[in-house]
Structure 1
Amino acid sequence: MVTRSVEYRQGETVLEGYLVYDDAVQGQRPGVLVAHEWTGLGPYVQGRVEALARLGFVAFGADLYGRGIRPATPEAAAAEAAKYKSDRQLLRARAAAGLAELRRQPAVDPARLAAIGYCFGGTAVLELARSGAELCGVVSFHGGLDTPQPADARNIRAKVLALHGAADPIAPASQVAAFQDELRQAGVDWQLVLYGGAVHSFTNPAAGNDPTKGAAYDARADRRSWLAMRQFFAELFAEEEGRSPTVAE
C-alpha cells in the first residue's frame, strides 16, 4: 500500500489530505473521496481510507478544515463544524477541492468517482452532490441530512445512499422525512437504510457504548452499513463499466 499526505488548496486555504492506494493494482481504478467527522481528518477516517484502498480503490481522505486544524474536544469540534454548517457554499467548496485532488491522481479513473462521509462528513458529501458535482454516487454514514437549500437536489447527478441510525436524535425522523421528500421531488436515484436501535456515530468505536447519550458505537450497524456501501459500489461501478453486477460482487 502507498500512503501519503497530500497538500492541496481551496482558495488561499492550505489543506492536507490522506491518499492511499495499492500500487500492485494495474491501471486506473475507481476513486473514493472520504469526508471526515467533526473532529477533522484523524485516525478514525484514515482507517476507513485504508480499508477502501484494500478493496482496490484509490481512496482520499479530504481535509475540510485546513492543515493542522484538528479539534481536540467536543466543544472545539462543534464550533469548527458550525462554521461550515452555517456556510454551505464554503462546505461545498472544501469538498469539491478534495474531489478535484482525487481526480488528479494518475491511478484514478475520472469517470468512476464516489464520495462517502461520516457524521459531519456525511453532510459534506450530500452538499457536494447537491452542488452538481460529477460523481457516480455518494454515501452518508450517520450524517446530517438537512440542507438550507433543498431545491438544489435537482442538481444531483449521483446516486445517493444514506445509512442512518433509526434512533439518531441528532438527525431525527423529521429530518429523515424531509430528506426523502427532497430527493423524491427532485427525481434522484436514492436509497435509505435505517438501522434499528442505532444512534449517531454508530460506526465509530470512540463514540462509546451508551446510546442514551445520543451517539454510540453499534457493531452490527457498522458491519451492515459497510456491506451496504460495498454492494452499492459494486452496482455503481459495474454500471459505469457497462456490465451488470452480480450478488457475488
Structure 2
Amino acid sequence: MAIVRETLVYDGPGGPFEGVVAYDDEVETARPGVLICPNVLGQKEADNVTAEKLAALGYVAFACDVFGQGRRARREDADMARYMNEMLADRAQLRDRLAASLGVLTGMSRVAPAKVAAIGYCFGGLCVLDLARSGQAILGGVSFHGVYGRPDYANVEPIAAKLLVAHGWDDPLGPPQAVVALAAELTEAGADWQLHAYGHAGHAFTDESAKDSGRPGFGYEERADRRSWAAMQGFLRELFV
C-alpha cells in the first residue's frame, strides 16, 4: 500500500479553490470516493490527514475547499468565523461550491462516480446535510458535530442520500431542540437517517487540537471520536455494497 497525496487547484463559483486528494496508488481499479468538508477554519492539514486515513480504508478521499484558495482561518483570529459566515449568508452559493467540489471528485479516473459519499466536521457537517438537501449525487453522508440549520431553499423530496449524524449531546451549537428539528426535517423529506448521540461530548469532539479549549461544551472527547469513526466505517461499508 502506498498512500499518495496530491494538491488540486480547481474552478468553481467565486474560485479558484484548492483541495487535497489522497488515494492508494497501488489500486488500479476505480473505487468509491469520499468528499471531506472542512470545519470553520477551512481546508487544512487535519483534513489532509483524514483523507489519508480514508485512503488507507480503500477510498479515494478529497478534502475540498469552499472558502477559496488562500482563504483560511486560524483559531487565534479575532474573526475566526468570517469565511464560514459568508457562506452561511449565501447558502445557494455554498450549494454551488459544494457541487463543484463534488464534480472534481466524481471526475477523477480513480473514482467510481456512482459510489460517492461525503463526510464533514462542524460547518462541514452542515455542508454534508446541504449536499443531501440539494439532491447532489452522493449515496450518503456523515455529519460530525455539525450545524443543523436549514438553508433558505427547499429540500429535494425525497432526500435520496442516506445520512448519519454523529452528535455530541452537550454541544451548545446543537441543543436538543435543534436536533429534534433536524430529525423532523429529515423525516418529512423521506430521508433514511440515523442519529448517534454521545454523552459527555460537545462540539468539536473529533478535534484533537481542541483538547484544552477551555470552553464549556467545546473540545475533544476521545470516546466519542473513536466511536463515531467506527460508526462511519460501518456506514460507508454498508453504503458501498
TM above 0.5, yes or no, is yes
Q: Unpaired runs of 5+ in structure 1?
A: 239-249
Aligned counterparts of 1:112 and 1:233: Cα–Cα separation in 2 = 10
**Per residue, is there more helix in 1 or in 2?**
1
CA offsets 1:182-220 (integer angstroms, 9 cap, x no match) = 011111100000000100000001112457533110000
Deviates more, 1:39-48 or 1:106-115: 39-48
Q: What is the CA–CA distance in structure 1 between the aligned matches of 2:82 and 2:14, rounded to whole Å?
A: 21
Q: Secondary structure at the match of 1:13?
A: coil
Does 2:33 align with 1:31?
yes
Residues 125-144 of structure 1: matches in 2 within 5 Å?
A: 125-144=128-147
* Maintained 8 Å contact 1:38/1:119: yes
**1:13-54: CA deviation from partner (whole Å, max 9, x where unpaired):** 100010100011130100000000011111111111110011
Residue 151 (structure 1) shift:
4.5
Quick one: distance in 2 between partners of 1:192 and 1:111? 25
In structure 1, distance between residues paired with 2:230 and 2:214 = 22
Q: 1:214 aligns with which of 214, 217, 222?
A: 217
Name the residue aligned to 2:203. Answer: 200
Q: Is the 2:130–2:151 contact (alpha carbons within 8 Å) kept by the matching residues of 1?
A: no
Partner of 2:12: 10
Does 1:97 pair with 2:100?
yes
Q: Secondary structure of the equivalent of 2:81?
A: helix
The equivalent residue for 1:166 is 169
Alignment of 1:37-116 (within 5 A): 37-72=39-74, 73-116=76-119
Matched position secondary structure for 2:170:
coil
CA deviation digits over 1:131-168, x for unaligned, max 9?
A: 11111101100010111348415252210110000110
Aligned residue type for 2:167: H
3-state DSSP class of the match of 2:151? Answer: coil
The sequence identity of aligned pairs, in percent, is 44
CA distance, structure 1, for counterparts of residue 89 and residue 156 of structure 2: 18
User: Does the 8 Å CA contact 1:151/1:182 hold for their aligned counterparts?
Assistant: no
Q: Is the 8 A contact 2:13 2:97 kept in 1?
A: no
Between the aligned partners of 2:239 and 2:37, the Cα distance in structure 1 is: 19
Equivalent residue letter for 1:67:
Q
2:143 aligned partner, one-letter code: S
Query: What secondary structure sits across from 1:235 in the alignment?
Result: helix
* C-alpha distance in 2 between matches for 1:145 and 1:91: 15
Q: How far did 1:90 drift? A: 1.1
Asked whether the 8 Å contact 1:150–1:182 carries over to 2, the reply is no
Give the Å deviation of 1:223: 0.4
- In structure 2, distance between residues paired with 1:178 and 1:12: 32
The answer to whether the Cα contact below 8 Å between 2:148 and 2:182 also exists between their aligned partners in 1 is yes
SS for the counterpart of 2:33 is strand
TM-score, length basis structure 1: 0.92
Q: Is the 8 A contact 2:23 2:59 kept in 1?
A: yes
